[in-house]
Structure 1
């Protein structure tokens, strides 16, 4: 079988790396790309030159992903670095996320679409607060698989007990968070132990190498069982002589499958019709599924615009102005009760008010701090929001796309908060609405 044929038949795994600063995330990624022969010669030569200019004897593999000038100067990762590579068994999209606390928001971005999250810890330090924060975010985002990579085992003499103690502590914490699966792997990214090839220094470890686990972890892209959702991004009216009456509704299918003849409902209006045609890449098809970008044609001429949601009539979500969610606050400015914001859900953006902040999660013991009054950068908490218009929201447990939203500062467009509808570590007691009447009476 040719290499081209093999790659077309392999699955795609999206994964993200996370961990505290200097735990070795970028070095691990660089080692993975280097040892799996997934980097070009000129890329390696550029890294060797950059390493030599810094007085290093060998190539600093972390520079393969730390692409920003500021990152190379400081020796840290700031932005999310995306890399695409493939082996004979699988294709990969990798997001290398920052370790600094102030860049935790970027970890949320990198893990939001991941099927697997790699959380690194330094074998000398074990589980620290940032480790717990990243585990909590992975749990909130419902990432199906979590890998605990215990790095720098060479600096603790490759001791099995050090690895076992860290793995036990982290697994217990992740289990409390509701993480469905944790795989622990002892590695040395700098030396290459258990990254691509098995380590001769840790013969006590009988599990897979890091790459072997990435190649074999089960990944399901079958979204046919999910309720179909198409957020309308654009209304297409070409007005040509060939198609004088063409009216299509374009967007990326967020979940499920649409077929010609399906009865559908347009939300939030609630009007119903049927799918009369589906255009994919300019050609008609009988069915389309996530994550394809398509244009739906409908039997009836209905008033539909950007921000509307097309769904199967039998599986239509309810619409509501009142949303309860768990959020990760990512902005420097606090989120407070009574805060006026813009809520972006799918392709729709509406005015909203933060009516209450019932609780904030304490990462040390997973307890809930009741009524904190505000959330500051990197806080995880529960919020109650009232939108100016009814929104068709799903539970995040049912759909990561239509069950999520972001809150935006209406003054400057800054992203404030990433939210997951219905997600909760616990069920706080019902609370009285504390937002003051400020004229935004929705």
Structure 2
């Protein structure tokens, strides 16, 4: 299963060409604490023979030192690198590991299971194509399993593999596996997730991870590795509309002005008609430059410098789009927000909202509802604030028009982060659900009056905290 090949010894250049042509799959492991996420990654690397001898020796030594598996070889230590993680046997920060097989390259993100570190899980999930949701067969679906599944749903991860782990501790019970499988299907329907695969495993012993299990003859499906190698994600990325958030004005001398950034969606050709947002100015692509030379066509994922036929005032945060296929310009949006700060989100507090390369100030005008992760139902009672790890639908007013899209259609330009303007700390992550591009003057005046009244309340009645007048 490893990426060893005879070409390495006979024709290294041919091997490198084959390796470069392999597809890349970005994977997230998530689920409740102690469900075995780190052990699973260690098992994938171990059974694929992708661990070096010095790493093996170090893990054997640390397994005895920290004794998190009663003296047995602890595969989780391959991923959990922080001292606190090794001492407690838990994952705190997101750890990334790269490996490859003969069929595919992988980047796998091991996310923490503790509710306290949900914000780290959101960070790890933001760039993944597939999620492996771990479930401990002894405990079944937990609250954090529901929370992570819901986050995968709103972030737009379309492919889920449910790995029902620790089957060895329940005597490899088929009945228990089927029970958990049915429960998770009901959960997935509420989270708008449809592409689901299930596999019963024991990450500790390697059952159905890379090799088929002798102890579960009743399971006739693919192993976890086979699922990872064959899942089709290329069609998910076939987005035609071009989105090019401009990051840097490249001006090495007086004769050259280029606009540098990463093409996050679609493709662009020399000669294409483009519109620059938010100004609405139009021009044509004169040339496309990369580090390796000029291009006639650039596609999503490439870092390029673009020059135009016309002199247009363009700055960081502007976006190039194909004329006629523009993003919307929004100064008011409804969005799902995952709150990541110890201090609660309070309405009408000025915050910084960062969309791709564009930053602007704004405020949360209303918390429409919050999501109960136990039932996955929406509720609006006591919705004056969001606390750490809560998820809610909120209405946001921005101080200027920003080019953006609905997250489900364009995750690259529909996602944003929220930054505290005083501490410069990232306090939340958001996904645009609805764009309110036309706000009436009456609504503006009402918002201003409401803001002024709440400012008066906060000044003269500070003991009321985040409570706002509505």
So what's the TM-score if we normalise by structure 2?
Answer: 0.88
Count how many residue pairs are aligned between Structure 1 and Structure 2.
431
In structure 1, distance between residues paired with 2:66 and 2:162: 31
In structure 1, distance between residues paired with 2:206 and 2:164: 13
Question: CA 1:191/1:91 → structure 2, altered by over 3 Å: closer, same or farther?
Answer: same
Contact 1:327 1:419 in 2 (8 A): yes
Aligned partner of 2:269 among 259, 278, 298: 259
Q: Does 1:397 align with 2:411?
A: no
Aligned residue in 2 for 1:124: 138
Aligned residue in 2 for 1:208: 222
Cα deviation per residue 1:139-169 (whole Å; 9 max; x = unaligned)? Answer: 0011010111111001101000111000110
Q: What's the C-alpha RMSD, in Å, of the aligned pairs?
A: 2.0
Query: 3-state SS of the aligned residue for 1:392?
Result: strand
Cα deviation per residue 1:33-60 (whole Å; 9 max; x = unaligned)? Answer: 1001122221111111111223554321
Aligned residue in 2 for 1:87: 101
Give the C-alpha shift of residue 221 in structure 1.
6.4
Name whichever of 293-302 and 363-372 sits farther off.
363-372
Give the C-alpha shift of residue 217 in structure 1.
0.7
Contact 1:404 1:419 in 2 (8 A): yes
Map 1:11-410 onto structure 2 (within 5 A).
11-55=23-67, 57-220=71-234, 223=237, 225-239=239-253, 244-281=254-291, 283-370=293-380, 372-410=383-421
Contact 2:33 2:90 in 1 (8 A): yes
For structure 1, the residue ranges without an aligned partner over 5 or more in a row are 425-430
Cα deviation per residue 1:67-108 (whole Å; 9 max; x = unaligned)? Answer: 111111221100000000000111000000000001011111
Question: CA 1:343/1:439 → structure 2, altered by over 3 Å: closer, same or farther?
Answer: farther
Give the C-alpha shift of residue 224 in structure 1.
5.1
In structure 2, distance between residues paired with 1:163 and 1:434: 56
In structure 2, distance between residues paired with 1:300 and 1:224: 30
Query: 3-state SS of the aligned residue for 1:77?
Result: coil
In structure 1, distance between residues paired with 2:292 and 2:203: 46
Give the C-alpha shift of residue 366 in structure 1.
2.2
Question: CA 1:354/1:435 → structure 2, altered by over 3 Å: closer, same or farther?
Answer: farther
Aligned residue in 2 for 1:415: 426
Contact 1:224 1:289 in 2 (8 A): no
In structure 2, distance between residues paired with 1:58 and 1:387: 55
In structure 1, distance between residues paired with 2:20 and 2:418: 38
Cα deviation per residue 1:400-420 (whole Å; 9 max; x = unaligned)? Answer: 110111111111011121111
Question: CA 1:222/1:440 → structure 2, altered by over 3 Å: closer, same or farther?
Answer: same
Cα deviation per residue 1:190-224 (whole Å; 9 max; x = unaligned)? Answer: 11111110001110011111111101111216745
Give the C-alpha shift of residue 313 in structure 1.
1.1
In structure 2, distance between residues paired with 1:324 and 1:373: 16
Question: CA 1:157/1:434 → structure 2, altered by over 3 Å: closer, same or farther?
Answer: farther
Aligned residue in 2 for 1:427: none
In structure 2, distance between residues paired with 1:70 and 1:185: 31
Cα deviation per residue 1:310-332 (whole Å; 9 max; x = unaligned)? Answer: 11112111211001111111221
Contact 1:397 1:423 in 2 (8 A): no
In structure 2, distance between residues paired with 1:385 and 1:21: 33
